[in-house]
């Protein structure tokens, strides 16, 4: 998600099954719960040293920028599991009562510079040059969400479509039924939910603060890829000691492109298992999802973003198949899909998807 904020800062993969149970739905209210971090050991011989944690949104645990200088709100060991509750991207502390009810209080009422994120979470032993593996075990949306179109009248999409007048702005208020797996907007439009986090990222290396709006090749962040549903593992470069992992910008559903600049923006409760990957397939941001392998490109030039996503997929295919890059490109041309991830964040995104099970090699 972009455009609601002011930009103030210049072998086949095996599907990863989640625990199979729904998490409690995040229900923000005007009075937030007290700062809460919990840690519990997980029994079992293989996981005896692992632990589970919980991090809830509170003034002490939320930020609206990336910064390698942030103090971690929680420190975990590799292999630990964390349940992270996050507010919607704007950080509303109370649900909307009607479409366009934007006067509700927010976490950062005086600093609308970026998304409301929970974290950061530090991982012991993670060092620059490492790769963080973030397995998305379960993702549960809250009971409501919103979509604003267009969020900014001066966005490229709004200008292209001629939707720049104040009266062109519309709001959808979504009622989310997690039991039925549906979301209904303004009482008349219903679609299935497919929840994911718009933002999962590590801290950039350079001194901050950094905007949460543009996705970054070196740290991920505002990727806005709808393929990153529960069961996915996202691989992120580590740029600072402890990695500093941020999560938020819950989307109950989104189309490829996120064309108006917002999805079904909602609170989210997400359980992740975080580890350090010692032999990543790529050093760049990439993912293994239930749909298949995914590589990413981010650039203000959509052609350049496409080239970066394809380049990474060709490299991955060449390694998987033990072949040359020219032959891997030929395979990609017959098997991989190039999709526009988002045209909402100033720095646009393209992802390449190699569907699981489509290609085999002798």
**pLDDT averaged over every residue in the chain:** 88
pLDDT at 156: 87
Mean pLDDT along residues 327-353: 97
Length of the chain in residues, anyone? 362
CATH of the domain at 65: 2.60.120.580
Token pair of 102, please? 């934007």
- What confidence category does residue 111 fall into, taking pLDDT thresholds of 50, 70 and 90? low
Q: What are phi and psi of 64, to 5 degrees?
A: -130, 30
pLDDT at 112: 64
Mean pLDDT along residues 230-243: 98
**pLDDT > 70? residue 3:** no
Alpha carbon distance 253, 212 (integer Å): 20
pLDDT digits (tens, 9 = 90+) for 182-210: 999 999 999 999 999 999 999 999 998 99
pLDDT at 89: 96
Residue where one domain finishes, among candidates 279, 301, 318: 279
pLDDT at 45: 38
Q: Are residues 138 and 263 part of one domain?
A: yes
Q: Are residues 186 and 246 part of one domain?
A: yes
pLDDT at 1: 57
**3-state secondary structure at position 46:** coil
Residue where one domain finishes, among candidates 279, 301, 330: 279
pLDDT at 128: 97
pLDDT at 304: 98
**pLDDT > 90? residue 98:** yes
pLDDT at 361: 82
pLDDT at 362: 78
**pLDDT > 70? residue 145:** yes
**pLDDT > 80? residue 68:** yes
Q: Which residues contact 249 (CB under 8 A, 6 or more apart)?
A: 1, 86, 88, 89, 115, 117, 197, 198, 199, 212, 222, 224, 265
**pLDDT > 80? residue 153:** no
Mean pLDDT along residues 34-52: 53
Please check whether residue 66 lies inside any domain of the structure. yes
Mean pLDDT along residues 324-336: 98
Q: Which domain holds residue 330?
A: 289-355
- What confidence category does residue 297 fall into, taking pLDDT thresholds of 50, 70 and 90? very high
Q: Is the pLDDT higher at 16 or at 207?
A: 207
**3-state secondary structure at position 157:** helix
pLDDT at 109: 77
- What confidence category does residue 360 fall into, taking pLDDT thresholds of 50, 70 and 90? confident
Whether the pTM exceeds 0.75: the reply is yes
Q: Is the pLDDT higher at 43 or at 347?
A: 347
pLDDT at 281: 96
In the numeric block, the tokens 């002011």 are attached to 6
- What total number of domains does the chain contain? 2
CATH of the domain at 311: 3.10.28.20
Please check whether residue 240 lies inside any domain of the structure. yes
Please check whether residue 160 lies inside any domain of the structure. yes
pLDDT at 144: 98
Q: Are residues 214 and 166 part of one domain?
A: yes
- Write the CA distances from 307 to 100, 228, 248, 298, integer angstroms: 39, 21, 28, 10
């Amino acid at each position: 998600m972009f455009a609601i904020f002011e930009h103030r800062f210049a072998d086949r993969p095996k599907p990863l099954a989640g625990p199979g149970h729904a998490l409690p739905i995040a229900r923000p209210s005007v009075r937030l719960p007290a700062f809460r971090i919990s840690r519990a050991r997980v029994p079992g011989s293989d996981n005896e040293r692992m632990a589970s944690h919980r991090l809830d949104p509170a003034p002490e645990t939320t930020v609206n920028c990336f910064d390698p200088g942030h103090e971690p709100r929680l420190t975990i060991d590799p292999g630990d599991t964390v349940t992270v509750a996050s507010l919607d991207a704007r950080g509303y502390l109370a649900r909307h009562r009607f479409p366009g009810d934007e006067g509700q209080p927010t976490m950062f009422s005086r600093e609308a510079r970026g998304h409301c994120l929970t974290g950061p979470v530090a991982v012991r032993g993670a060092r620059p040059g490492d790769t963080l593996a973030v397995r998305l075990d379960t993702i549960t949306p809250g009971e409501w969400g919103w979509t604003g179109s267009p969020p900014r009248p001066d966005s490229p999409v709004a200008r292209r479509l001629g939707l720049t007048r104040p009266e062109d702005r519309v709001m959808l208020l979504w009622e989310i039924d997690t039991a039925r797996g549906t979301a209904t907007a303004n009482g008349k439009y219903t679609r299935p939910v497919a929840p994911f986090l718009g933002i999962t990222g590590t801290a950039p290396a350079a001194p901050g603060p950094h905007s949460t709006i543009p996705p970054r090749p070196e740290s991920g962040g505002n990727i806005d890829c709808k393929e990153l549903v529960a069961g996915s593992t996202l691989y992120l470069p580590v740029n600072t000691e402890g990695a500093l992992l941020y999560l938020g910008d819950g989307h109950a559903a989104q189309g490829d492109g996120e064309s108006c600049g917002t999805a079904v923006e909602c609170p989210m409760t997400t359980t992740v298992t975080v580890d350090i990957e010692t032999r990543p397939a790529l050093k760049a941001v990439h993912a293994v999802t239930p749909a298949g392998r995914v590589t990413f490109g981010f650039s203000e030039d959509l052609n350049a973003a496409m080239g970066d996503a394809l380049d990474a997929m060709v490299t991955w295919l060449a390694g998987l198949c033990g072949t040359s890059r020219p032959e891997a490109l030929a395979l990609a041309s017959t098997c991989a899909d190039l999709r526009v991830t988002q045209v909402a964040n100033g720095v646009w995104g393209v992802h390449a998807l190699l569907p699981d099970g489509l290609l085999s090699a002798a």
